[in-house]
Amino acid sequence: MKYLITIVGPTAIGKTALSIDLARHYNCEIISCDSRQFFKEMTIGTAVPSPEELAAATHHFIQNKSIFDTYTVGDFEKEALTKIEELFQTNDYAILVGGSGLYVDAIIKGFDEFTPLDPSIRENVNSNYETSGIEYLQQQLETLDPIYFQRITSENPQTLQNPQRMMRFVEVCLGTGKPYSSFLNQKKNNRNFTSIIIGLEADRNVIYDRINQRVDIMINEGLLAEAEALYPNKELNALQTVGYRELFSYFDGEFTLPFAIEEIKKNTRRFSKRQLTWFRRKENTKWFDYLADRAKIISYINEQIHNS
């Protein structure tokens, strides 16, 4: 039996440190699924693990792409599964870590074989949701896929209030030109490993304080210069990222620097809230306080291994 030990949780909660501790304990390697740490031009603003952390355990999918590359979640799924299969040739364990819920899902359970979607579609759907709320997503789905809308309404009405799922349904309809329901009978993706999912959590005030401190550290480490170097390419999809967008607005003269920094903090806090909403829907996730003793977490993992 092969085990993919997966660590999820909001940004700045301590996932990297735990992943390294577990990788050293199980003598295995780490697959990163942070969708912005893939890009080699983005170091400070994406909180890439430090050289010391990277040296403490072997990491994969850290700064392995360029912002000029087209790289989708489907591309990541194929490449990461290939790497995981390779690692399992010589080890029963691997660590998956990251705060990008869509990318975690891609590895653990896979997606239906949708046509690759234009990233701008997701941005547009997300923007409309931010402006108009869940009602926009409900109206879009009812128009684009009335059959599936009625099915959800009668069988699982709470899904209509789940923005992540509703955005996915709408973007698939818009991106493929087909109803989401037309993809549901496709063959499911099988995985030849068992997933053990660990979630890290803390009181909201603690998470927010850690985020604010991290942003201050990023600024002190040179985020402003990093963003300025990337500014000429600010329209690239990879750079539509919290921490960079706000500084681009500063360079455009729309924000003062202090206001841009506060916006980074505010938007990162909002992002962390969305991350928690996404990850908390996973029923098979075991949640631990971010300060939980490592031995307690390892004991839980070993128990799951023993009982599988």
12 is in an annotated binding site: yes
10 is in an annotated binding site: yes
- Is 46 annotated to bind a ligand? Reply is no
Known binding residue 16? Answer is: yes
Residue 234 CA to residue 245 CA, distance in Å, equals 8
Q: Is 47 annotated as a binding residue?
A: no
For residues 11 and 130, give the distance between their C-alpha atoms in angstroms, rounded to a whole number.
Answer: 20
Q: Which of 277, 78, 93, 101 is nearest to 196 (CA)?
A: 93
Residue 13 assigned as binding residue: yes
- 10: phi then psi, degrees, rounded to nearest 5: -70, 165
Cβ-contact 47, 218 below 8 angstroms: yes
Between CA 220 and CA 178 the distance in angstroms is 48
Rounded CA gap, 27 and 22, in Å? 8
DSSP classification of residue 65? B
Strands annotated E in the chain: 3-8, 30-32, 59-60, 93-97, 194-201, 285-289
Round to whole Å and give the CA distance between 90 and 159.
41
Whether residue 11 is annotated as binding a ligand: the answer is: yes
How far apart are alpha carbons 209 and 290 in whole angstroms? Answer: 14
Alpha-carbon separation of residue 30 from 33, 35, 156, 191 (angstroms): 10, 15, 36, 18
Spatial neighbors of 43 by CB under 8 A, at least 6 apart, are: 63, 226
Q: What letter would DSSP give residue 163? A: H
Tell me whether residue 222 is annotated as binding. Answer: no
**Which parts are annotated binding residues for substrate?**
11-16
**Which parts are annotated binding residues?**
9-16
**Which parts are annotated binding residues for ATP?**
9-16
